[in-house]
Chains A and B, each alone.
Chain A
């Protein structure tokens, strides 16, 4: 089945610094979703990308889908303590009945 590799596994930043997590696949992906899981919580949907080269923004968050649709990234500008959590990239198959998660990037923000 499809696999997505996510790096880094951990990232520690000072509040105000930027943060980026990357997701890579050896095969072409039809879609990428990003989820955030707060400590002790459950994954919450952030965004979905389906088009080659697509870029979407949500306030301080910028999501990109690569031209070859084999990689994606999530960039957070000027991190805040509320950004703490684990960020997952996810690809969906069989019209998204089947979701494959990356390993996640655990973000810690030091005030």
Chain B
């Protein structure tokens, strides 16, 4: 089954404790990206990647890191989480010029 898999689905952490949210896709898509969703703001892109070892900032990259060492994986790293990063996060993948497939989401709470 074609899918984008994110883990974990839910995470509560404390301020400053490094965390990684994993994202994996099995569709051999070139493009992968991360979004955060906050009420009234829609989805805002954090980072995107157009291929292995190629990443670029989205609209709200501050406080986040990504890496694309393999085509199928695109982890999101929060080196020092803060409460304003409490949000719902989505990973997505797509082919060039195609529709985006989204993961199930990760609800992160930073206390």
Q: A residues touching B (Cβ–Cβ < 8 Å)?
A: 1, 6, 9, 33, 35, 41-45, 48, 88, 90, 92, 94-104
Contact B43 A45, beta carbon cutoff 8 Å: no
Which residues of chain A have C-beta atoms less than 8 A from B98's C-beta?
Answer: 96
Nearest-neighbor residue (CB-CB) of B50 within chain A:
A97
Given A9-B40, A42-B105, A43-B90, the answer on whether A95 and B45 have CB atoms closer than 8 Å is no
Instruction: Tell me the dominant secondary structure on chain B's binding face.
Output: strand
Chain A residue at smallest Cβ distance from B94: A96
What distance in Å separates the Cβ of B2 from its nearest Cβ neighbour in chain A? 12
Extra pairs beyond A9-B40, A97-B31, A98-B56 (8, CB < 8 Å):
A43-B43, A43-B102, A45-B100, A94-B50, A95-B96, A95-B97, A96-B96, A103-B41
Within 8 A of A (CB), among B39-59: 40-45, 48-50, 56, 58-59
Give chain A residues whose Cβ lies under 8 Å from the Cβ of B101.
45
Chain B proximity of A96: nearest CB distance (Å): 6
Q: In the assembly, what is the distance between CA of A43 and CA of B49, in Å?
A: 19
Q: Is B25 an interface residue (CB 8 A)?
A: no
Asked whether, in the complex, the Cβ of A99 is within 8 Å of the Cβ of B42, the reply is no
Which residues of B does A touch, CB under 8 Å?
31, 33, 35, 40-45, 48-50, 56, 58-59, 90, 92, 94, 96-105
**Which chain B residues lie closer than 8 Å to A95 at the CB level?**
50, 96-97
Nearest-neighbor residue (CB-CB) of B90 within chain A: A42
Nearest 5 interchain pairs by C-beta: A45-B99, A42-B102, A101-B42, A101-B43, A103-B42
With beta carbons under 8 angstroms apart, the residue of B40, B50, B94 that contacts A103 is B40
CB distance from A98 to the nearest CB of B (A): 6
A105 to B86, CA, bound (A): 22
A1 to B48, CA, bound (A): 15
Q: How far is the CA of A90 from the CA of B31 in the complex (A)?
A: 16
> Is A104's CB under 8 angstroms from B42's CB?
yes
Q: List 9 A-B contacts (CB under 8 A).
A: A33-B99, A43-B92, A95-B50, A96-B31, A96-B94, A97-B48, A99-B100, A101-B42, A103-B41
